Structure 1
Amino acid sequence: MYAWPASEVPALPGSGRDLRIHDTSTNGRVTLEPGPVARIYVCGITPYDATHMGHAATYNAFDLVQRVWLDTKRQVQYVQNVTDVDDPLLERARRDGVDWTGLAERETTLFREDMTALRMLPPQHYIGAVEAIPGIVPLVERLRDAGAAYELDGDIYFSVAADPHFGEVSRLDTEAMRLLSAERGGDPDRPGKKNPLDPVLWLAARPGEPSWDGGTLGRGRPGWHIECVAIALDHLGMGFDVQGGGSDLAFPHHEMGASHAQALTGEHPFARTYVHAGMVALNGEKMSKSKGNLVFVSTLRREGVDPAAIRLALLAHHYRSDWEWTDEVLREAEERLARWRAAVSRPDAPAAEGLLEEIREALADDLDAPAALGAVDRWAALQDSTGGTDEGAPGVVSRAVDALLGVAL
């Protein structure tokens, strides 16, 4: 599967700061110190409705991580999946009377277009669950043969007891895990499971549903969590720098994925740091496909909204915060974009000395994009109060905002 074209990232003078970021697994800040190649895995979409503002906010957060790393002169190895076969996708296809493969391809194409418009840097490896199946099957077989998985009516389940580190990602108690498992695709009440929290690794073929040859597993399709494990191990290996996604993925998805990988390899941790973005609400409720309360990037683009304004609306909120999308949020972003573009178009710009370092320091401080926006706002406001004579400042500011915030002025 192919990703989307990369926008050019301007080179900046000097070097950026190492990123200090909130780690879910320790509930505190850590300083990321990757080697020459920083490794990151971000969980992708299930393509039955893309791309709403919650998606955009999540991918914007991890785009900033990449940009901070690039500014430290590191290379970035970025991997993202597409869950192009799963219950929600099949259910939507049945509801709409369409072929599930066509639905997945249509929405994945739209997602690519939205990411391109928002100038999100693409992954080097963009892998669909279906194309990963040949690599998933042997992992499930290994877990089963090692006693870390078991069969239940033809389905294969992972035993969470097989990983002594289970629970260390989300740090939730058993009752909270059980509730979230039921809410987020698990089946804790299924009779016969060794532990209510045990997740499915391989779902035996059902009538009317797609299935693939699973070797000794029989025909079926993969569970949700093992998909990302197979892709991440194949392209990044154990102990990669950041596992990322929305805060609703901490449990069960990231918790279960970590345990799968750790039981497979005997190594710990799967990822060195777990980073999660907040949720975006609309009319007082979290945006979700199940509720249908969505604002789509593609709809805004069709209405003529500048993608740079959409990106500024995302950047105006700290990536870990939960916030609400409103018309006012978009209006403020459009006004900010207009002010910034006016400021970099005038020849009498004030000096920009120190602004680049302000932006760098803000982003290194747990991706504090609102503080970075405030620094640019103050520079732009100087034009109105004092003017300036630094002919090079507009170029410096434009390149900094482009390279570090992904906004083209």
Structure 2
Amino acid sequence: MIKLYNTLTGKKEEFVPLTPKTVRMYVCGVTVYDYCHIGHARSALVFDVIRRYLEYSGYRVEFAKNFTDVDDKIIKRANEQGVSCEEVTAKFIQAYYDDMGRLGVRPASIEPKATEHMADIVRLTETLIAKGLAYQVDGDVYFEVAKYGDYGRLSKRKLDDLQAGARVDVDERKRHPMDFALWKSAKPGEPAWPSPWSQGRPGWHIECSAMSIRHLGETFDIHGGGMDLIFPHHENEIAQSCGATGKEFARYWIHNGFVQINQEKMSKSLGNFFTIREIFEKSEWPEEITGEMLRYFLLSTHYHGPLDFSDLAIREAKQALNGFYDLFTRLAEPAAGAGGDPGLPVSLERTQAAFRSAMDDDFNTPVAIAALQGLRSDLNKLLADGFSTGARNTAREAFRSLGQVLGLFQLDSWQFNPIKDIRGSDLLRAGLEEAAMAQSVPSDTDIDQKVQDRNAARARKDFRKADEIRKELAAMGITIEDKPDGTSRWKR
């Protein structure tokens, strides 16, 4: 039984879809005028994992995530660059796919664009006017919030309080300061579409209502997005959708928490705002960072809470993945003897139960990861007692199967390279210990040579020299593991 926290009711509820074994889910996508940032990455990843777990649990998921491809910011960017809005949106839609691909985020099953749904938007707006919930002024159309009695039920805000806090420079043509645009008449040079009221374009909120209703129906199961969308975007979606159809819009509302940078709110003004591709490509950031590292980090905190992004956190994610992939390397080695599977069935059953319990409890990925860490610990102990090749394959497949839900542990090989020294980086500063930051990073060739020297010392029974080399490597962060056949292997 899956339980999830429903923002609409403010409590954790059992998830029961409208149609048995089918889930219809809509998530607000990006406005395509710039590259995606780490906040976008978190939201995309959260709902990617929710979708994966629902599918793992036997549901067929109809997952819609839109692109907002007409907006003031898009028009502004196009004017700045002297290109069309279509060129701007095409560039950043492709950039979105590139970024999400590196993170292992699967495309949604339905990816509507606002510009492809103008007829749906106009039709929905006409319905709201006909029902007395919207009015037109000089070619613009506004939703009248005072006419919708349940306004504020998602964000838990009262209309009177909102009016008292409204800015004094609001549009005086509105009947209420919180009335919002459904349709905007176009200014000279702006993209425009025909409507009964003017050549113009839709407001932001009506786009998502029209697209979700068109593809998922007037009532569907889950609506999601970042917490910054609760008000006004999702609040307005509820008002106009329920007002038009007379039915409940989305039954469960899921919102992911904010991303902080070194315990500060991410902000361009603070200089700690950066895009996904900057994390991967900027020269100050270590070249070894991978999509799986970033994915592991983003899943290490429950989706509903705030997430603090720092280079220390990335280092910890890398170290944790090193531990998993080191185990996978050992599981891939030929079994020394016939062996068996001592304790494996019990450990696997316990892990699978703990994993499902965590994910059933509001998609608690950090607890699910902890269950996999427990299995890793069990297997490291069991390997010492001898493992058959079949048991090794079974153990690796268990990690692949459960890891697939999280989008982890799917690689066949893994580079055990540490994150390099980034002291002085303009991208991130975590205030690590100076000694740790000043460590030199030996090359693979240097390490191989030292391991060979140590093997030679052991062969001639110069154990003092062999121990000195081992300690020297340990000081560099290199661990030596001696195998029964007399050879050694190393890892960082």
1:228 to 208, 219, 231: 208
- CA deviation profile, 1:182-233 (whole Å, cap 9, x unmatched): 7xxxx9821121111111000001122211112x121000000100001111
TM-score, normalisation: structure 1: 0.88
AA of the residue aligned to 1:119: G
CA distance in 2, matches of 1:292, 1:225: 30
1:159 shift after superposition: 1.0
1:105 shift after superposition: 1.2
Where in structure 1 are there 5+ consecutive unaligned residues?
1-17
Where in structure 2 are there 5+ consecutive unaligned residues?
282-286, 336-340, 412-492
Match of 2:176 in 1: 195
Match of 1:344 in 2: 328
1:68 aligns with 2:53: yes
Instruction: After TM superposition, list the pairs within 5 Å mapping 1:234-249 onto structure 2.
Output: 234-249=214-229
2:256 to 252, 263, 277: 277
Q: Identity rate of aligned residues, in percent? A: 33
Match of 2:436 in 1: none
CA distance in 2, matches of 1:96, 1:329: 37
- CA deviation profile, 1:256-280 (whole Å, cap 9, x unmatched): 011111111111x200011100010
Instruction: After TM superposition, list the pairs within 5 Å mapping 1:159-308 onto structure 2.
Output: 159-174=144-159, 177=162, 189-214=170-195, 216-267=196-247, 269-287=248-266, 293-302=272-281, 303-308=287-292
Question: Is 1:117–1:307's contact at 8 Å kept on the other side of the alignment?
Answer: yes
1:248 shift after superposition: 0.6
Question: Is 1:356–1:397's contact at 8 Å kept on the other side of the alignment?
Answer: no
Change (3 A) 1:98 1:294: farther
Which segment drifts farther, 341-350 or 139-148? 341-350
1:326 aligns with 2:313: no
CA distance in 2, matches of 1:188, 1:324: 36
CA distance in 2, matches of 1:256, 1:181: 16
1:101 shift after superposition: 2.1
Match of 2:410 in 1: 408
1:368 shift after superposition: 1.0
TM-score, normalisation: structure 2: 0.74
Which segment drifts farther, 94-103 or 73-82? 94-103
AA of the residue aligned to 1:26: T
Question: Is 2:136–2:197's contact at 8 Å kept on the other side of the alignment?
Answer: no
In the TM superposition, structure 1's runs of 4+ consecutive aligned residues that sit over 6 Å from their partners are: 179-182, 289-292
CA distance in 2, matches of 1:156, 1:189: 15
1:374 aligns with 2:358: no
1:383 shift after superposition: 4.2
Cα RMSD after superposing both structures:
2.3
- CA deviation profile, 1:339-379 (whole Å, cap 9, x unmatched): 11121232379723321221111111111111111111222
Match of 2:3 in 1: 20
1:111 shift after superposition: 0.7
Question: Is 1:311–1:407's contact at 8 Å kept on the other side of the alignment?
Answer: no
- CA deviation profile, 1:112-151 (whole Å, cap 9, x unmatched): 1222222223211101111111211111122122221111
1:48 shift after superposition: 1.7
AA of the residue aligned to 2:359: L
Match of 1:394 in 2: 396
1:109 to 75, 94, 98: 94
Equivalent residue of 2:61, what SS?
Answer: strand
